[in-house]
Each structure stands twice: as structure tokens, then as C-alpha cells.
Amino acid sequence: MSVQTLRGGLLLMLSVALLTGAVYALNLGRIVPIEGAQMLTRGQLCAQAECSETRPVALPYFSPRDFDDGLETLHFVFDVPLEAAPEPVFALYLPKFSDNLDIWVNGAQVRQNSLPLRLWNTPLLVPVPAQLLQAGDNQVALTLYGPKAEAIDLRPLFLGPQVVLKPHYNARWFAGPGLARFAFGLMLLLSGALLLIWQSRRAERGYLWLGLSCLAAVAFLIHYAFGQSFGSYRIWTITWALSASLYVLLVLKFITSFLGQPPSLAERVHFFVLVGGVIVTLFSPPGYSFALVASINVLTVFPAVAVLGVLWRNRAALNWFDFLVLGVCMAPSVALGCYEVWMMGFNAPSRSLHLFHIMPIIMAFACLWLIVSQLVASLRGLERLTAQQSDVIAAKSRELKDSFARLAEVEKRQAISDERDRIMLDLHDGIGGHLVSTLAYIRNNDLQDETLVRALEDALRDLALMLDSMENTDSLTTLLGMLRTRLEGLLAEHGLEFDWQIHGEPDLAVKGPSQNLHVARIVQEAITNVIKHAGADTITVYADEARIEISDNGSGFDRVARASAGQIGHGLLGMKRRAQAIDAELELESDGAGTRVRLLFADVKRRAAE
């Protein structure tokens, strides 16, 4: 045991002692004079039943304890002077005595004892018939019975009108057996419920310990609530007194298992003390039973403080409010236990009202709070989880929807792609095949028709361009690259070569395969014009974001003359038309240094923006 634990333990002990002191200071249920009734505090204690020899006694009276087995019987006589014969119904009110009694008023018995009931915690209100009382002297005789080991206890009693005494009796009955019976019923219900819960959740031992602790409380509450006893004096004393000690052990087990802690040292030590105590008490003379169990209950204060210690050490595992509720409930519970131990241990306690039976009610509240709080926490967790789950489901559903949409898109694209492939195949193998066959026929048969050959070759090139533009939908420069690859051979035949200068992707106002095809046709037309007419040896193809320019180093042409001649006018018109279609501007320059065809994109865009 470390110094820290020791210090903490001592501090807790001190706190419990202070609380116990507070309970003591409250002096609940103290017996004070009642207005309108006579409080009997002085009487005679008889040496024998006939009461020939008496000695004066003052109440409260406690007989000395001894270790004898058997029943103590004491006879008391009280002289009560009355000014007048009572008119209302009178009654005798005994707030506290032990354990049972007979009562005579003026020689007539008004109560026969109800042994073996032990009414040590139960007040008594005995009606006294009016005709029994008279003006002047009256005598009230009591015979008390109680176990010698626990001694006989008689507190001041009252004689007065029943209506005056009844409320006091009721209040005391409620505070004593009333609350004890309520606690008894509550514990019985709780133990049943908790053990039932444990049956379905065997892994959660907390329910078992709490359920069993409630059963232990039921055992000692029978003693507090009903005064009933079962079995021999020794067996019953062990049962009720040590069930309180067992209760502490079970609560300790509950709290450690609830907090997920390993069994504490206090738990093990207390278990052995308890078992040892039971065995020792069983094999000792019955007269010692009470003293032995009272000693064990004194020792039980330590494990009870350990419950508080475990709670304090694990305060981090609980939320602050739960800790507060538990602390506020458990500390007074331990104080009530100490108070009871004190009352049990002293032969003549200065307090008359037992409060220990309130302890299980407070503890039940604390433990139920803990369980409900845990339940609420796990419900919250469940809600959070459910919310998370539905978020996940929503996200997954969205993903699924997206992927369905994507799949549909993919299928659509696949269908388009398949259709495109089919058209390309048809164009290539169908029209392309016919063109190639026709060209081959012309060559093989040596038909000298250059116009026809050129037209066929143009058609083939145009077809290839179309196929290229269908294949390269996203990049104009790649389309130009493909165009170059195809025209390279033709250029070589005419002694021409490219000066290729592609610096960037032209920024068309509207992008798409047909726009690209327009551009490619313009470029192809410009290049074939150079091949056919310019007499150049280099064709420069320049492209950047803003423009495409095709220039040659030929002799240039007289545009007006050529246009009027209609030779390239038709081609130029086509180029202009195509440029318009793609919102581009076509410029044509021709001079002695060559011809330049410019296709401008950025300017057109900027002007449109303005």
C-alpha cells in the first residue's frame, strides 16, 4: 500500500467521520416532550414480577449487556397522576424500546407481548380505554423482554389523548419501519430485475453483484422493517447483521466490475473477514453472537470506505455528473453505516432513531443512476452509430448512383465508340477501298487522266483526314501531326519539305471534332495549294494558342488574277467558309517572298468578349 493510497484512505476516513458526526449532530428522532401529553421519564424498576421491591429509574434505561444466552425480562412501574378522568380516548405511545413488552394500566392488561417479534425499531401506540384511567393516581406497569446479549432499551414514553400522540407515532413509524418496508420492497424488486437482466447479459457481472447486494439488503431490512426473525437467535443475528457487511462487499464488487477494475485488496480481505466471522460466530456460544457480528460490522467500515476510494481513483472513467451523483449518494451511505455501527456498538446510545435502512434506498438510487446513465450513454452511442451508418449508407448510395451513372455513361461511350469504329471501318474499307482500287485501275491500265487521279487522291486524303479527326477528338496538334505524317510522302514527291513549328494547342472558340476537322481541312487545303501552285521548296506550318499559319517560300500569286481565273478561288472560298464556321479569321497574304495563310483565333475571341 503506497503512501499516497494511505493518505487518500485516511482523508476519506476523515470525511466519513465528519459526515457521521453531521448525522449525529442532526439528532434525528430525539424524544422531546409532547404538548398535551405526559412524558414518563421516571419510574420504578421491580426486582421481580410481583414488584414488591422496586428501585427508582430514569428513562432512557439500558440494561447491562452480558454474554448469556437467553431472554432478559424487566418490570417497570410508572405512577401517572391525572387531574381529571380523561374524556378523549387515551393512548400510551412508546417511541423506542426493545424488544417486546406487556402493558398494564391500573392493573388491567392493555397489551400482550407479541414475541418472538422484536420491535426494537418499531414504535408502539397502545389505546387505553377511558374507563381504566381515573382522576388522581394511575399506574402503568411494563414488562419488557429482550435478548440478554443485546440488553433491554426503554426510552421515555407518553400518556395522553390518542389524537395528540397519533401524529407523533405515525411520523416515527414512517421514519422507522415505514421506510424500512419501502426499502425492503424496493430491494426485492430491484434484485429481481437486476438478476433478470444479468440472466440475459451474463458477461456483465455488475448486474449480478448489484442484484445480489439488493438481496443482502432484503435480509437485513426484514430485521429493520418487521422485527421478524428466522431460525435460532444465533442464526438470525448472523444473518441480519452480517448481510449488511455482505452488502458492502457486493457493492464493492459491483463498483470495481462496473469501472472495469480488477478486484481490490479490500474486497479480498473483507471476503475472508466475513467468512471467518461467520464461522467463528457459528462455533461460539450464542451469547457472544451479537458482540462478534458487531465487531465484524465495525471492520466493515474499511471496505465501505474502500468503495469510496475506488470511486475516487476512477473518477476519470466517469463523467463528472455521474461521479457527483455517486459521490453524493455513497459518502452519506457510508456515514449512515458508521452511525449504525456506533449505535450497535454502544450499550447506551444517545440517539434513538436508527437510520441505516435508508442507506439501501440512497445506494439503489446511485447504482440505478449509474446504470441508467450508462444506458443513456450507450443509447447515444447507438444513435451516433446509426447516424454514422446512415451517413455511410447515404454516401455509398450516392457512390452507387454515381457509378451507375458512370457505367451508363461508359456504356453510352462504348456504344458511340463501337458505332464510330463501324463507320470508320466502312469509310476506310468501303469508300477508301474503292478509291484505291480505282487509282490502281487507272495506273495499271495506263490511263493518262491527271485530273481524275488528282481528284481521287484528294478524295483519299480527305477521307483520311475525316478518319483522323474522328480518332483525335481532343487535340488539334495531334491531328495536324497525323496530317503531316500522311502528307510527308506527297511533299517528298514534289521536292518539298515541312518546316514544322507547333508551339501550342490552338485555342478555338468552340472545341470539338467537327471544329478540328474544319481547321485540318483549311490546313490541308493550304498545303495542297502550295504543292500545286507555289513552286516552293519549304512549307512552314506554325501553330500556337492564337493562330495557325501556313507559309511557303514560293513565288506567291496574283490573288485577283488567280481568283478571277477561278483556279484557287474556289478553294479559298471554302477555307473562308470553314473559318467562319469556327469563329476564326482567315488572312491571306501573297507576295514575291511567298504566300501566307493565317487562321486567327484569339483576336476573334477578344473582340467577341469586348
Partner 1 sequence: MDADRDLRGGPEETVLIIEDRADIAARLTEAVTSTDGVTVAGVATTLDQGINLLYDLRPRIVLVDIGLPDGSGIEAVKAAAKADWTVDALVVSIFGDESRVFEALQAGAKGYILKSGALRQIGDDILAVLEGGSPISPAIARHLLAVLNTGMEPKPEAVECHLTDRETEILRAVARGYKRHEIGAQLGISAGTVGNHITSIYRKLEVGTNMEAVMRATKIGVL
Name which of 391 and 429 has its Cβ closer to partner 1.
Answer: 429
Burial class of residue 212 (count of CB atoms within 10 Å of its CB; 0-12, 13-18, 19+) = buried
Name which of 259 and 439 has its Cβ closer to partner 1.
Answer: 439
Name which of 364 and 480 has its Cβ closer to partner 1.
Answer: 480
**Nearest alpha-carbon partner for 165 in 89, 104, 103:** 89
* Residue 545 C-beta: closest distance to partner 1, Å: 13
Task: Please enumerate in sequence order all residues whose Cβ is within 8 A of that of 177, keeping only pairs 6 or more positions apart, or say none.
Answer: 121, 122, 224, 225, 226, 227
- Residue 223 near residue 187, CB atoms below 8 Å: no
Name which of 325 and 546 has its Cβ closer to partner 1.
Answer: 546
The DSSP-derived string for 304-346 is HHHHHHHHHHTGGGS-HHHHHHHHHHHHHHHHHHHHHHHHHH-
* Residue 585 C-beta: closest distance to partner 1, Å: 23
* Residue 436 C-beta: closest distance to partner 1, Å: 5
Name which of 109 and 414 has its Cβ closer to partner 1.
Answer: 414
* Residue 575 C-beta: closest distance to partner 1, Å: 20
* Residue 517 C-beta: closest distance to partner 1, Å: 13
Task: Please enumerate in sequence order all residues whose Cβ is within 8 A of that of 313, keeping only pairs 6 or more positions apart, or say none.
Answer: 8
* Residue 483 C-beta: closest distance to partner 1, Å: 7
**Nearest alpha-carbon partner for 125 in 73, 171, 80, 79:** 171
DSSP state of 19: H
- Residue 73 near residue 108, CB atoms below 8 Å: no
The residues of the shown chain that bind partner 1, judged by CB under 8 A, are 406, 409-410, 413-414, 417, 421, 424-425, 428-429, 433, 436-437, 440, 464, 467-468, 471-472, 475, 477-478, 480-489, 500, 502
* Residue 428 C-beta: closest distance to partner 1, Å: 5
* Residue 257 C-beta: closest distance to partner 1, Å: 50
- DSSP lists the bridge partners of residue 111 as 103
Counting Cα atoms < 13 Å in the Cβ hemisphere of 251 gives 34
* Residue 592 C-beta: closest distance to partner 1, Å: 28
Beta pairing, strands 538-543 & 100-105: unpaired
Name which of 166 and 484 has its Cβ closer to partner 1.
Answer: 484
Name which of 429 and 558 has its Cβ closer to partner 1.
Answer: 429
3-state SS, residue 90:
strand
Name which of 476 and 579 has its Cβ closer to partner 1.
Answer: 476
- Residue 105 near residue 92, CB atoms below 8 Å: yes
**Nearest alpha-carbon partner for 521 in 462, 567, 453:** 462
Beta pairing, strands 97-98 & 124-128: unpaired
**Nearest alpha-carbon partner for 240 in 199, 192, 296:** 296
Q: Give the other-Cβ count within 10 Å of 381's Cβ.
A: 10
* Residue 449 C-beta: closest distance to partner 1, Å: 21
- DSSP lists the bridge partners of residue 497 as 538
3-state SS, residue 555:
coil
Name which of 129 and 433 has its Cβ closer to partner 1.
Answer: 433
* Residue 496 C-beta: closest distance to partner 1, Å: 15
Name which of 117 and 502 has its Cβ closer to partner 1.
Answer: 502
Counting Cα atoms < 13 Å in the Cβ hemisphere of 489 gives 5
Name which of 106 and 438 has its Cβ closer to partner 1.
Answer: 438
Cell of 232: 435460532
